[in-house]
Amino acid sequence: MAAQATTLDFRSLVRSGIGVPLGVLAALAMVILPLPPLALDVLFTFNIALSLIVVMAVFYVSRPLDFGVFPTVLLLATLLRLALNVASTRVVLLHGHTGSHAAGRVIESFGEFVIGGNYAVGVIVFAILTIINFIVVTKGAGRISEVTARFTLDAMPGKQMAIDADLNAGLITQDEARTRRAEVRAEADFYGSMDGASKFVRGDATAGILILIINMLGGLAIGVMGHDMSFSDAARVYTLLSIGDGLVAQIPALLLSTAVALIVTRMSRAQDMGGELAKQLLGQPRALAIAAALLGVMGLIPGMPNIPFILMAALCGGGAWMLHKRSLKPIDVVETAPAPAAAPPPESRELTWEDVQPVDIIGLEVGYRLVPLVDKAQGGDLLARIRGVRRKLTQDLGFLVQAVHIRDNLDLPPNSYRINLAGVPVGEGVIYPERELAINPGKVFGKLSGIDTRDPAFGMEAVWIEPSARDHAQTLGFTVVDASTVIATHLSHVVQNHAHELLGHEEVQQLLNGLGKNAPKLVEDLTPRLLPLGTVVRTLQGLLAERVPLRNMRTIVETLAEHATRTQDPAQLTAHLRVALGRQIVQDIAGMSTELPVITLEPDLEQLLTNSLAGNNAATPGLEPGLAERMQRRLAEAAQRQELTGEPAVLLVPPQLRQTLARFMRSVVPGMHVLAWNEIPDNRKVRLVTAVGR
Q: Lowest mean pLDDT of 140-154, 211-225, 427-441, name the range.
A: 140-154
Find out whether 685 and 595 touch, Cβ atoms under 8 Å.
yes
Count: domains in the chain: 5
pLDDT tens string 91-107: 777 776 676 666 667 77
Over residues 396-412, the pLDDT tens digits come to: 999 999 999 998 888 89
DSSP per-residue string spanning 565-626: TT---HHHHHHHHHHHTHHHHHHHHHTT-SEEEEEEE-HHHHHHHHHHHHHHTSSS----HH
Task: From 429, 268, 449, 451, select the one nearest 364 (Cα to Cα).
Answer: 429
Q: What is the pLDDT of residues 228-252, one digit of tens each?
A: 787 777 777 777 777 777 777 777 8
- pLDDT, tens digit, 9 for 90 and up, residues 555-592: 999 999 999 989 999 999 999 999 999 999 999 888 88
pLDDT value, residue 112: 66
- Residues 245 and 109: their CA atoms lie apart, in Å, by 10
Q: What local confidence, expressed as pLDDT, does residue 213 receive?
A: 80
pLDDT at 616 over 70: no
- For residues 494 and 517, state if they share a domain: no
Q: In this predicted structure, what is the pLDDT of residue 50?
A: 86
Higher pLDDT, 640 or 209: 640
| Apex 543 CA angle, 537 and 546, nearest 5 | 140
Residue 598's φ and ψ, nearest 5 degrees, are -135, 155
pLDDT band at 341 (very low <50, low <70, confident <90, very high): very low
User: Residue 614 sits in a domain of what CATH number?
Assistant: 3.40.50.12790
Instruction: Say how far apart CA 151 and CA 149 lie, in whole Å.
Output: 6
For residues 657-666, give the mean pLDDT.
85
DSSP H or E segment with residue 31: helix 19-32
What pLDDT shows up at residue 366?
92
Distance CA 685, CA 652 (A): 13
Strands (E), 379-456: 404-408, 416-421, 424-430, 436-439, 451-454
Per-residue pLDDT band for 336 (boundaries 50, 70, 90) equals: very low
Q: Within this chain, do residues 574 and 602 fall inside the same structural domain, yes or no?
A: no
Q: How far apart are CA 463 and CA 440, in angstroms?
A: 8
Tell me the per-residue pLDDT of 514-564, one tens digit each, with 9 for 90 and over: 999 988 888 988 888 889 999 999 999 999 999 999 999 999 999 999 999
| Pairing mode of beta strands 461-465, 416-421 | unpaired
Evaluate if residue 63 carries a pLDDT over 80: no
Place 11 in a pLDDT band, splitting at 50, 70 and 90. Answer: low
pLDDT of residue 345: 55
Q: Who wins on pLDDT, 291 or 573?
A: 573
Where is the domain boundary, 476, 500, 524?
500
Asked whether residue 390 falls in the same domain as residue 532, the answer is no
Is 408 buried (19+), middle (13-18) or exposed (0-12) by CB count in 10 A?
middle
Is pLDDT above 80 for 215? no
Q: Is the dihedral of CA 472, 474, 476, 481 positive or negative?
A: positive
Residues 509, 603: one domain? Answer: no
Q: Is 560 exposed, middle or buried (0-12, 13-18, 19+ CB in 10 A)?
A: buried
Predicted confidence at residue 4, as pLDDT, reads 47
* Per-residue pLDDT, 541: 93
Q: What is the pLDDT of residues 137-181, one digit of tens each?
A: 777 777 777 767 676 666 677 777 777 777 766 667 777 888 888
b/e map 176-212, b = 16+ CB within 10 Å: ebeebbeebeebbbbbbbbbebbebbbebbebbbebb
Please report the DSSP string for 551-577 in residue order: --HHHHHHHHHHHTTT---HHHHHHHH
**How confident is residue 337, by pLDDT bands cut at 50, 70 and 90?**
very low
Give 611's pLDDT tier (boundaries 50, 70, 90).
Answer: confident
Q: Average pLDDT in the 279-291 region?
A: 74
- Report the range of poorest mean pLDDT among 159-168, 425-434, 457-466, 633-642: 159-168
Instruction: Assign 108 a pLDDT band (cuts: 50, 70, 90).
Output: confident
Alpha-carbon Rg of the chain, whole angstroms?
A: 38
* Most confident of the ranges 200-204, 272-276, 519-523: 519-523
What is the pLDDT, as a whole number, of residue 554?
93
Count CA atoms within 13 Å of residue 279 on its CB side: 6
Q: Does 146 lie in the same domain as 242?
A: yes
- pLDDT beyond 80 at 190: no
Closest CA to 159 of 143, 135, 138, 181: 181
pLDDT at 179: 84
pLDDT at 335: 38
Residues 121 and 269 in one domain: yes
Residue 475 resides in a domain: yes
Is the confidence at residue 615, as pLDDT, over 80? Answer: no
Burial of 38 by CB count in 10 Å (0-12 exposed, 13-18 middle, 19+ buried)? Answer: exposed
618 — pLDDT class (breaks 50, 70, 90):
very low
Residue 655 lies in a domain: yes
Is residue 126 domain-resident? yes
Question: What's the order of all strands across the beta sheet hosting 595-601?
Answer: 673-676, 650-653, 595-601, 685-692
334 — pLDDT class (breaks 50, 70, 90): very low
Mean pLDDT value of segment 326-340? 45
102 and 93 in contact (C-beta within 8 Å)? Answer: no
Alpha-helical (H) ranges within 431-530 are: 470-475, 483-497, 499-502, 505-516, 520-524
Co-location of 496 and 513 in the same domain: no
Please say whether the beta carbons of 561 and 526 come within 8 A.
Answer: yes
675 three-state secondary structure: strand
CA distances from 266 to 59, 194, 351, 434, 436 (A): 10, 13, 63, 22, 21
Query: Is 2 within a domain?
Result: no
The last residue of one of the domains, among 440, 472, 500, is 500
Q: What is the mean pLDDT of residues 276-285?
A: 67
- Centroid of chain to Cα 554: 40
For the ranges 73-77, 255-259, 676-680, the one whose mean pLDDT is highest: 676-680
State how beta strands 424-430 and 416-421 pair. antiparallel
Question: What SS3 state is found at 227?
Answer: coil
CATH number at residue 461: 3.40.30.60
* Structural domain harbouring 543: 503-580
Q: Tell me the mean pLDDT in the region 120-149.
A: 73
* Close Cβ partners of 215 (under 8 Å, ≥ 6 residues apart): 89, 92, 93, 238, 241, 242, 245, 246
Residue-averaged pLDDT of the chain:
80
The C-alpha atoms of residue 608 and residue 80 are separated, in whole angstroms, by 86
Determine the pLDDT at residue 154. 67
Q: Which of 554, 580, 606 is the last residue of a domain?
A: 580
Domain for residue 353, yes or no? no
Sign of CA dihedral 572, 577, 578, 582: positive
Three-state DSSP class for residue 139: helix
Q: Is residue 335 part of a domain?
A: no
Largest CA distance in the chain: 123
- For residue 25, is pLDDT > 70? yes
| Stretch 73-88: mean pLDDT | 81
Instruction: Tell me, yes or no, whether 311 and 450 share the same domain.
Output: no
pTM across the whole model:
0.58
Together in a domain, 473 and 518? no
Q: Is position 320 within any domain?
A: yes
Whether residues 179 and 49 share a domain: the answer is yes
Q: Is residue 639 part of a domain?
A: yes
Do 268 and 287 reside in the same domain of the chain? no
CA–CA separation, 401 and 375 (whole Å): 23
In the prediction, which pLDDT does 101 show?
A: 65
Asked if 266 and 308 sit in the same domain, the reply is no
Round to whole Å and give the CA distance between 42 and 449. Answer: 57
For residue 281, name the pLDDT band (cuts at 50, 70, 90): low
Which contiguous run of DSSP H or E holds residue 362? strand 362-366
